[in-house]
Each structure stands twice: as structure tokens, then as C-alpha cells.
Structure 1
Amino acid sequence: MKRRDFLRAAAMTAVGAVAASCAQPTPIVLEKEVPVEKVVKETVVVEKEVAVEKVVKETVVVQKEVAVEKVVTATPVPEKFHEAPELAELVKAGKLPPVEDRVPVEPLVLEPPIEVGKYGGFWRQLHLGTTDAMQNYYKVDEFVGKFLPDGSIVPNVVKAWEFNSDVTQMTIYLRKGMKWSDGMPFTAADVMFWWNDVVMNDELTPSKPSWLRVAGELANVTKVDDYAFSITFPSPYGSVVEQMPIQAPWVPAHYMKQFHATYAVKADLDAKVTAAGFQDWKQLWGAKTARANHVGLPTVFGWNPTNTLDQQIQVWERNPYFWKVDTEGNQLPYMNEIRRFLLPDMEALLLKCIAGDADFESRRVEGVKNYPTAMANREKGNYRVVMEDNAGSNIGTMFFNFAHKDPVLKELFMNKDFRHAISLGIDRAEVNDIVQKGVCPISAATCAIGAAWYDPKNGTENPWIKYDVDAANKLLDGIGLDKKDGEGYRLRSDGKRLSLVNTVWSTDAALFPNVAFWEIVKPQLAKIGVEMVLDPTERELWVQRIHALDFDVAVYIMAMGHATQTPLQQKQFAPVSEAGQHWGPQWGLWYETAGKQGEEPPAEVKKMLEIYDEAVAEPDTAKRNALIKQAMDIHGEETYMVGLLNESPQARWMIVHNCIGNVGDRIYGSNSLAMHSCLMFKKC
């Protein structure tokens, strides 16, 4: 029998085990919890030639464990595969293997959101150049796992995963027969190359990935066989599954070894470095792994670039070895190409969208400010405005430089009364009305409203977001800032004016109008005697300055957990690394180096770090959420960050051209569902 005649089933058991098959948007992983009377260590899938409706499963009894078996129903692989006409012609000409040999033994079967699509057409995208890195993340990238609309996380690129009994080891199973976009096998060798030669190479990765650290210690990755690898953690890591929708632990070893000092002939590598205009092989490596800008880099994406991002039109062609099919066996994607148009600025991007020159666009155009314009031009531009159920960032959030070199400012920033006074001195309603048309919830810095970790006392009902000038003045007087200069500004303990330079993130102004927010806050703070000088700064320089500690206070978009990114994914609620968050980089450095570097944090921040460690280890979702709530409580009281507003539902939306099919009336976390390969061109 041929492989397509069999039902592929997955059934994996362990404490906190996760196993999945894969169709969407309705979850096809049907789970029910069954108490296990006899005690098992694991359930082993025995693949045999059986009728499609039958699943053969063998249970191995090895030792007593308290466990709950999860019964998982798998989606059958279609009996026959189909391909785009252009690919069929290449097969006919002998330039490409048959589609049956290009898709994996167990491809990911997607149920299209609305209908089985037709091949053809191209997807028009808009971008702002090489700095627009997130465009790839939102529209092309594929990761280990993905979110389903119910918030659960299931395998995506990989076939399945499972944990051992104490949640210290995760075994990940790859798809047999899966290939890179150049037709070479995608196996555990590519994972081990990533681990041994990229992650563990201190020249390429001086700071190890935070998602592979537990309580400050690094995990270890080992090969099980050609299609499986294990990650062993130094202590229980039940929450690692939350990292899967944003991780890609593999590198095409067969291709990238030519750019790696361990494998390449030195003279050849030196010549490549010189020819590319770089100083060393590490810079060359960085350029060659830039997946959106390196023509020829094998990927697992639905499309691959044929030219570079600096071209007026960057063309991405279909990956003939893509590992997803629809329920009728059509190899995805439906669209032949992506055509990415380079534009000078966000205003030009919006104008192209409302003129009907974009197909599926949210990046750089969404936001409350642009929402009325987008709605008003729907008929003219022949598009729909589709809402995203993914709002949740705190916009306009300000934080302090807790490692400031100025001892006077550092002492003030570490004083909770000072932070509370700043927060009480802000009239958020005025900011909301003027800039956001009054549609945003006024909130302290916390997770998304309504999320599993949300408590109103930390958000919309936080006592420190009430506008109260008298209370703010009283707090400032009480900490010794009771003297003022001739212009009414308070004097520091050294006699200097209390003046704060605010380094404001100015990128993505349509979605995050931070500068506009703080232009309004500036005179409000003057009323309580605090001078603020705004310093609008673009993304790259902003990040450099924050981590060089070259700022007083700074404004950013603070996301501590929302629809498709959990708090443990985002790692913003606790400073667990220097680079991974911005509000406490030196505390993060202290944590990740076990106190050898950085600055020791105060007791309440240490408590958050302890909570983080507990939550990371906890396999039970409800218990994990309860722990994170405790950290949110600390933020609610301590005000380490001064929140302004939570995103309005009107902030997150997409322009969808009427000629684009398989897009519903609402979109849930479009980037994380990885459904872009189901987009199709239709008559309109």
C-alpha cells in the first residue's frame, strides 16, 4: 500500500503531554481526559497498515504514575495529492519530482477557513524596506507550533511533541519525508547544526536563547533519530510549550556550512567575506541567514524571495516542497507569488491600501487614527476592513532607568512614591480623547483586558491611574521635592531642576502614537512641578540607547500578554534577560548571570523573578496563570511602568481586498495561526 492509504495517528501521554494533528480553523485535535486506572509511563504509537478508520495503539506498562490519558483523534492524510499547474508542468518536463515525493509522509492538513481554494494569482504586500523585519514574521514565517482560535497551542512545522513524566525533557518529532525549499531533506541534523554550531558557538550566539534557560541554566539538545530530537532541561519546564509558536530551532546545514568557520575552507570563506564587503565571517553569516533578504537560502516557508528587499518590487515564488496540504490534498499555498512593493513611508503605505493596491495588509496602517479613513474608502478601494481579535498592548507606556548613572535620579526612580506621583499627575482621559478619540480603555501597565492573567485592580481600576494633582503633589513633597525654582519646577536634592528627558519610541506612529501622547502629558506633569523634555527616537537607535542606559525615562509599547502571545512568551512581566525586555535590563542581566553581572534588583522584583521560575516549571495551565497573576499584582502596586491606555479593538484591523478569498469576518492572531497559505485569488 502507498502511504496516502493509511491513517496517520498521534497519541502521546505524559504529565503535561501535548500531541496534535492539525486542521484549522476548527480544532481537529479532539481530546478527552480519561482517568488511567493502570499506571503507564508512555503510550507508544505502533504504525501498521490498517483501514483508514482504525487507529492501532499499544500501551506499555512500566511503573506507577499518577496521570491522565489524553485521547487524540488525528486527521487522515488525503488519499491523493494535487499541485499547482505551473509545478505540474515542471514535473512533466522532468525538472521537479512528482508531488507525492515532495510532500512529507505526514503533511500538515489544513481545513481552509472558508473554502477549498484555486491555484493562481499573486499576493500584493507593502513594506518600508530592510528595517521592516516584522513583515516577514506576520506574513511568511513558520514556527514549531501555532495557536488555534481557542488559544490552545499545537504543532505546526513539526509533527508532534511529548514530555517525560517530570517535565524535564521534551521530545519533538519531525515530519518524515519533509524537505527544505531546495528539495534537500529536513531532518534532525539541521536541528543539531543549529544547536551545536550556532547556539553553542559563542561568536555567533554570545547570549543564549532565553527560552532554553530554566532558572538561569541552559538546556541541552540531543538527537534521538533522523526525525526526532529531545530538549533536556535542568529542572521542570512545563511552560515550554508556550514558546513553540515563535521558535524555529533549525538551520539548513547542507547550505549554511559553506559560510561557517568550522566547516568552510578558510581561504574560500575569507574570499566570500571580502566579496560581500564584510569584516569577518560572523557578519557574513548574519547576512546569509537573513531569511527575507537572502536569495537562495533554503526555508520551510510557503514562498521564497527571488530578489532583495531593496528592490522596488520583491518577488517571492511558491515553495514546491511545502509541507502543508488542504483537506482535498491540494499542496499549498494557493497563491503563485508574493509581490512586495517598497514604499517610502507609512503615509504612502496607507494611500496604497485605500486605493485598493494591497491585498491583505495591517502592518503599518492599522490603528485608531487610520480606522475612519480605512472605513470611508472601502467601496472606492474595493476592500473590506476585517477586525483582529488580538488587541492587548499597553500603548504609550513609560518606564524609568533604574540603573541611572545619576545617583539622584536613580534614587527617585527607585522610590515607589515618586512613581506613583508621576502616574497620578497624568490626565489619561485627555490623552485618550485628543489622540485616540476616546475609544481606548484607560489602564495601568498590565496584560490584555479579559486575558486569563487580568485583574481590573491592575488595569482599568488601578488606584494609581486616577488623575489627582493634589495627591501627586503631596507625594512629591513628602519625599523631599518640596522646593521649586522660579518657573515652578521642583528642585532635586542637589539643587538642580527636576527635568526628565523622555526617549520616546517614535516608530509605528499610526498604531502607537507615543509622541502625540506625551506631548499632551508634558504640560500635565509641569502642573506637579516635573519638567519633561521629549526626545522622539526611531526603533534601532531607541533600543541601543535603552540598553546602553543612555536615558532618563523612555516610552514604549508594553505587551505583557494577549491573544496569541502569553506572558511567558513575551517575557516582559519579569526582567529575566538583559536583551529580552527594556524596563529592567540590568536586573535581567543579574538574573541571567546568576548575580555575576548587572544590578541586584529590589525585593519585589526578586519576588517576580521567583514567580517566573515557578510559572516556567508549572505544567498545569490554571496554576501557571494563577502564578502570573501574582506578578501582575506586583506591577499593579509598584508601578515600575506608568501605563496610559490599553489598545482599543479599533486599533487592530486589516485591509482585505475583495479579490482575496479565505478570510472571514474576524481574524484571530493572524500571524500566529499560520493560515496564509490558504489565501487565494478570486473574481471580484
Structure 2
Amino acid sequence: MRQVKYILGVVVILCVASAVGCDFLSTEAESGGKGDQGGQGGVGAGGSAQKGKEAPGLAEQVEAGDLPAVEQRLPEKPVVVEPVDEIGQYGGTWNSAILGTADVVWLWRTIAYEPLVRWDPGWTEPIPNVAESVEVAGGGREYTFKLREGMKWSDGEPFNADDIVFAYEDVLLNEDLTPDVPTAFLGGDEPAEIEKLDDYTVKFTFPGEPNGLFLEQLSYNGQITAWPRHYLEQFHEKYNPDVEQLAEEEGAADWIELFTAKAGLAGYVDPVHFQNEELPTLAAWEISQPLGERGRVVVVRNPYYWKVDPDGSQLPYIDSAVFDVIPENEAILQRTLEGSIDMHIRHINTFINKPVLAQNRDSGGYGFFDAQAANMNTMVIALNLTHEDPVKREIFNNKDFRIGLSYALDRQEMIDVVFQEQGEPYQAAPRPNSPFYDEELAKQYTEYSVKKANAALDRAGYTERDADGIRLGPDGEPISFTIEFATEFQPTWPDALELVQDYWEKVGVNVEIKPEDRTIFYERKEANQPDATVWTGDGGGKDVTIEARWYFPFSNESNYALPWAEWYYSRGESGEEPPEAAKRQMELYDELHATLDEDERARIMGEILDISKEEFYVIGTSLPPESYGVVKNNFHNVPEMYDAALYPQPGPTNPEQYFISGE
């Protein structure tokens, strides 16, 4: 059996797609965004009532005979996007920045969030996007998608059911290209089957267990709409008998390497999508200057984009976007302070940066917009419960040891000294505004008490100490381990970890701190090499049921027990069999995954969290404050939004309706 993997492309919230009662099941023309759900706070400017049905530059190309008329470029039923505040105007360049190739997720979120169905701006339900409508049948076993007739790729070639079938059968189900079937397309252990009903209709059928989360998962997964068959079949062995010769001519080892270099196997989240300027796209902007050339990515409007505003004018409003590659957060912050960044909600939007951003907003010509955080912890400390060293494994798996370390943290001092007095002591638990909030789970063992810490560590059996006061482990050696973290991710972590080091030394545990490049951090983590790691607390808002990494060994981001998670997503073919409590959580999650019933999902997730509370897998530090973003005063229709890994902000707020005034 092929391995399957739970990945971040799996998304779910409590609103459940069913065959009745959901707006996106309608076959009528719909809005791609809802102004009232998009939030408030966008700054106004007037749009031009005489802007026409397309951008002036495109109208000139039509007049010159270089481009078909706009009516011929749009599908029969384009998505109608309701602007947040007002009808916009054409023109301008959106200036932004990324840290480098590993930061292409920001490109996807801003200029290429075009899944089959998408999250509405209020993160309440999936709504039509590439698909005009969807019908759900069989309790989540069958999903029939009606595509948009007349829709085209950015090169003007038709987009239809053949592209979806190609993406699924020839890429995602091709073992050479995709060894691990994405969880979005699984029902139990079995992948979905796809059937082309006509040129604009496809049906996914789950022959095993139902997949009740399919629509929510597709709202985050951008793979199925990222691969144009007409362009990519030349690089695929199924369609080109001479593909190996072509691979040799292109300098690739084989057709697999060639296809990967041309297509990018992660879809719109893959750097290749922004490196191969020949790859057609469905996004609002297409590549003009690819990633890797002259330190920036430049995109220009897609003349065949398939969305319009309420006036029937083709989107996007903004002509182009420039993403400078700036490898340091501090440099991006400086560009923002100078007013050189138009809109941003990544890396720089920390609580440490907000005072200096506020002080310079007048000179920089920008303001703030609010973002509701889904992150539930500033810094989660994960001891490696599956450590290959049997002594460290025994120590880390001792729950009283973890409880003792938790009591030893003076969280309030960390908040006051390092976290700018923002937040409150908190474990790895859903946020107070989450439907899954559990005060006991959030607050257990967060009291600062050296007395209780020592009592718990004594209960763990480590009462003997060396001459320096460090407790001795079961092997008679001092208990000492290293915490690893990615240097560029959170600027507060080095200072916070120095405090952790001092707190734990006071109760007889020695800790070393090891900063490292994020790439190295991930390589070591995936090899199960670290003693302990720290990361942020993803999965604390509406995304609890999909981003469950901290609540049970769920994915390759469950840093405390990656081999247990691997056992789960490989269905026992690899990894390490986990303890009974974790296995019970995995069974429960499979039940959650199979149902469309909202109440049943909530009940099951509650049981998973109850077990998590009892097991106490990881140690949290503090609840982060709400988030924010920065936007220039002449950059409009930017609403409040969520700040969450699985709500790919700002994508669900329809960046194609942003506009720049005074251009």
C-alpha cells in the first residue's frame, strides 16, 4: 500500500459542507467574496466610474489586434467579487517582499490563492471559486464539481475537466511524482477515484470511507488547479514517448526530474510556480520576472483572469506586483518604516515591532489593519518523546518530569521581560475565543512554583543530584539536553530560551540552547535528531480540527513524536507504533474525518482534546495577543482578516479587488 501523509494542505473548520443548506452548492452566479464577512477597517478612496470593462493596457492590446476582446477572454459565468469598501480603479504596482525561496508561501497567499473552492473572507465556509458549483452526495462519498465554461489559462488555452483529471490521475496518483497521496484526497486508507462526466464536470468518489472534510481541505490545497495539461503533458512519460530524450536535452536526469522542474509538485505553494515563467496559471497575475532573477519576483496582470467586479469590469485592479527578495526580517521592517511596502502581514507583524511601526506611520504613510490570531502559543516547547537515546526517551516520557519543568517556568516574567507585556500564561490549547476552549487544558501547570516543580521532579524519581545541583537521570548521569530552534522565525525566542535555561537550572535540569538555520532545523527534526525543539502554537482558533499537531501525533509538524505521527499517516507501514492513548486519538480523528455532521465533529474533537489534556505532550508558555497587518494609506479595500497558517491570509479577502489610488 502506498504511504499517505497528513500535511498542512488539509483544512477544516466546524462549518460542514452538506448537500443542503450551504450557499456554495447553488448553480447560480455567485460572489467570490462577501464585503460584510471580509471585515471592516479598509481605507476609502474613490474608484472611477469610467474605468471601463478592462484595464487600459489590455484595451490597447485589443485595439491593436494583439488580444481578443474581454468578452471572449472571460468565462460564461465569471466570479463576481464584491469589493470590501468600494469599486476600485485600475493601475499601480503592489510592492512587497519575501525572505527567499523558502518564503514563497507569501506569493501564493497574495497573488495565487485559486483553489477549486476557497474560504470565504470570514472563514466560515468554502465558496465557489474555480468550480462554479459542487454537489455532495452519499454522506461525503461523492463530490461533483461543475467548472466554468469558457474559462482559460493565462496563455489563453481552455481550462476544463481534462486539467483536473490530469492533475489528479497523472500527478497526484502517479507514484513516481507523488509517493504520498495527499490526505485531502483520501477516504480512510483509500484515495478517491475521479470521473470526467463532460468537458466541464468532474466527480470524485471515495470508495473506502467517506471524506467529510473534502471541501474544507480543498479550500487550502492548491494543487489540483495548478497543473495545465496542455503545457505539462510534453514533460510526462504517459503523453510523450520521447520525454527521456527531452529530459537529457534539458539537463535533467530523467522525466521525473524534468517534470518536477517544470511543474512544481506542491502546486501554487511550490517555488517552481514562480520560477517557470512559461507555466500557465489561473492566478490574477502571471510571472514577468521569475524568482531567482535579479533579487525580485515581478508579476503582471493575467489578461484571461476570470473574475469581475459588480460593474462587470475584469479584475485585478492592480497592474503588477513586485516582491523584492530581502533575506532578513529587520530589512523588511526598515522598508516598511520607509513606506516602501504597500501591504504586509508576515514576519514583521510582531508585538515587538508594533511600537516602532506606530511611531513611524505618519512619515511612512501607512496604517494598521486588525487580524484575528489563530496561533495559541508564543513558544511551544516539545521534548522528543521518541528520542533514539533510551535514557532521554525515558526521562522525556515521564509525565511528572514535564509537569515539573512546566511549573518551573516563570511565564509572567517571560511575558513582562521578553514578550512586551503581551499575553498571559498559557499551555498548548485552543484560544479563549475558540469553540474548543477548555480552561483546564489552557491553564494546567502554568502556576510558577519552584516548590511544585521540585515536588514533581522528585515524583518523577530524579531525587539525586551532582555537585552542581543537577539532577541525575536513570543512568546516574546529570540530566542535560539541548533545545533547538530556527533562528529567523521568532526574534523573541533567544531571550525567552535564556530565561528557560535559568528557570530549569534552578530546579536541577541543565539545558543548552542551539539556534540554527530553518533548513537545518527541519532536516534534523525530520531525522528525529533533536532532544527538544520550540515552535509557535498553530491550531488555536477555528482551525483546531485541522491543525491538530499539538493535540496528538497528527502530522510531520508534531515535533514531540514524529515517528508516532508517521505511523499514523503511513497506516502502520513505517514510523513507530504509539502508546494506546495516542492510538485512540488517531482512531477518533479518523471518525471525525469521515463525517459531515458538525455536532459529531465537535464531540469527537472534544474527546481528542480531553486525552491531550491528560497526556500533556508539550509545554506552552504564553497566549499571543491578536495580530495586525500594515497597509499604505493609498492602498484600499484591505479588510480585517484572520492571521492563521490554514487561512492563507490575505488570499480569502480577494487581493484582486485591492486597488491603489493616485496612480
- TM-score, length-scaled by structure 2: 0.88
CA contact 1:81–1:99 (8 Å) conserved in 2: no
The residue type paired with residue 275 of structure 2 is N
Q: Residue 307 in 1 paired to residue 289 in 2?
A: yes
The equivalences for 1:125-136 within 5 A come to 125-136=96-107
Q: Shift of the alpha carbon at 1:672?
A: 4.1
Which residue is 1:440 aligned to? 423
Which residue is 1:156 aligned to? 129
Q: Check 1:81–1:658 CA distance in 2 against 1; reply closer, same or farther (3 A cut).
A: closer
Q: Residue 257 in 1 paired to residue 228 in 2?
A: no
CA contact 2:371–2:640 (8 Å) conserved in 1: no
CA contact 2:566–2:575 (8 Å) conserved in 1: yes
Q: Shift of the alpha carbon at 1:351?
A: 0.5
CA contact 2:243–2:255 (8 Å) conserved in 1: no
Q: Shift of the alpha carbon at 1:138?
A: 2.3
Q: Check 1:175–1:581 CA distance in 2 against 1; reply closer, same or farther (3 A cut).
A: farther
| Cα distance in structure 2, aligned partners of 1:136 and 1:200 | 26
CA contact 2:329–2:488 (8 Å) conserved in 1: no
Aligned equivalent of 1:19, options 25, 28, 33: 25
The equivalences for 1:490-529 within 5 A come to 490-510=471-491, 513-529=492-508
Q: Residue 89 in 1 paired to residue 72 in 2?
A: no
Q: Residue 236 in 1 paired to residue 210 in 2?
A: yes
Q: Residue 613 in 1 paired to residue 595 in 2?
A: no
Q: Shift of the alpha carbon at 1:504?
A: 1.3
| Cα distance in structure 2, aligned partners of 1:666 and 1:204 | 35
SS at match of 2:412: helix
Aligned equivalent of 2:453, options 472, 475, 482: 472
Q: What is the root-mean-square deviation of aligned Cα atoms in Å?
A: 2.3
Aligned equivalent of 2:606, options 617, 629, 649: 629
SS at match of 2:631: strand
SS at match of 2:463: coil
Q: Shift of the alpha carbon at 1:113?
A: 0.3
SS at match of 1:615: helix
Q: Check 1:658–1:430 CA distance in 2 against 1; reply closer, same or farther (3 A cut).
A: same
The residue type paired with residue 449 of structure 1 is P
The equivalences for 1:56-95 within 5 A come to 82-95=53-66
Q: Check 1:155–1:539 CA distance in 2 against 1; reply closer, same or farther (3 A cut).
A: farther
CA contact 1:505–1:537 (8 Å) conserved in 2: yes
Q: Check 1:566–1:480 CA distance in 2 against 1; reply closer, same or farther (3 A cut).
A: closer
Which residue is 1:603 aligned to? 580
Residues 595-647 of structure 1 show CA distances to partners (whole Å, capped at 9, x for unaligned) of: 23211111221121122112112212233123212222222232111111222
The residue type paired with residue 449 of structure 2 is D
Q: Residue 285 in 1 paired to residue 259 in 2?
A: yes
Which residue is 1:76 aligned to? none
Q: Check 1:201–1:106 CA distance in 2 against 1; reply closer, same or farther (3 A cut).
A: same
| Cα distance in structure 1, aligned partners of 2:360 and 2:37 | 38
Q: Shift of the alpha carbon at 1:295?
A: 1.0
Residues 191-247 of structure 1 show CA distances to partners (whole Å, capped at 9, x for unaligned) of: 111112111221211111022223333222232222122222211222222212211
Identical positions, percent: 32
SS at match of 1:616: helix
CA contact 1:147–1:245 (8 Å) conserved in 2: no
| Cα distance in structure 1, aligned partners of 2:601 and 2:159 | 34
Which residue is 1:575 aligned to? 553
Q: Shift of the alpha carbon at 1:467?
A: 1.5
CA contact 2:374–2:540 (8 Å) conserved in 1: no
Unaligned ranges ≥5, structure 1: 1-11, 30-79
Q: Check 1:270–1:665 CA distance in 2 against 1; reply closer, same or farther (3 A cut).
A: closer
| Cα distance in structure 2, aligned partners of 1:171 and 1:373 | 51
Q: Shift of the alpha carbon at 1:369?
A: 0.7
Residues 74-129 of structure 1 show CA distances to partners (whole Å, capped at 9, x for unaligned) of: xxxxxx98111111111111111111111111111111001111111111111222
Residues 305-336 of structure 1 show CA distances to partners (whole Å, capped at 9, x for unaligned) of: 11222323422010011111111101100011
Which residue is 2:150 aligned to? 177
| Cα distance in structure 2, aligned partners of 1:596 and 1:24 | 43
CA contact 2:36–2:84 (8 Å) conserved in 1: no
SS at match of 1:642: coil
Aligned equivalent of 1:587, options 564, 567, 590: 564
Question: 527-536 vs 616-625, which deviates more?
Answer: 616-625
| Cα distance in structure 1, aligned partners of 2:427 and 2:96 | 35
- TM-score, length-scaled by structure 1: 0.85
Which residue is 2:638 aligned to? 663
Q: Check 1:182–1:581 CA distance in 2 against 1; reply closer, same or farther (3 A cut).
A: farther
Q: Check 1:344–1:599 CA distance in 2 against 1; reply closer, same or farther (3 A cut).
A: closer
Which residue is 1:166 aligned to? 139
CA contact 1:16–1:620 (8 Å) conserved in 2: no
Question: 523-532 vs 598-607, which deviates more?
Answer: 598-607
Unaligned ranges ≥5, structure 2: 1-16, 39-50, 265-271
Q: Check 1:606–1:491 CA distance in 2 against 1; reply closer, same or farther (3 A cut).
A: same
CA contact 1:447–1:561 (8 Å) conserved in 2: yes
CA contact 1:15–1:166 (8 Å) conserved in 2: no
SS at match of 2:346: coil
| Cα distance in structure 2, aligned partners of 1:396 and 1:121 | 39
| Cα distance in structure 1, aligned partners of 2:641 and 2:19 | 36
Q: Residue 539 in 1 paired to residue 518 in 2?
A: yes
CA contact 2:135–2:145 (8 Å) conserved in 1: yes
Q: Shift of the alpha carbon at 1:551?
A: 0.9
SS at match of 1:387: strand
SS at match of 1:555: strand
Which residue is 1:119 aligned to? 90
Q: What is the aligned length?
A: 612
Aligned equivalent of 1:676, options 648, 655, 661: 655
Residues 359-403 of structure 1 show CA distances to partners (whole Å, capped at 9, x for unaligned) of: 011222111110101111010001111121234242210112222
CA contact 1:190–1:253 (8 Å) conserved in 2: yes
SS at match of 1:653: strand
CA contact 1:560–1:566 (8 Å) conserved in 2: yes
Q: Check 1:451–1:410 CA distance in 2 against 1; reply closer, same or farther (3 A cut).
A: same
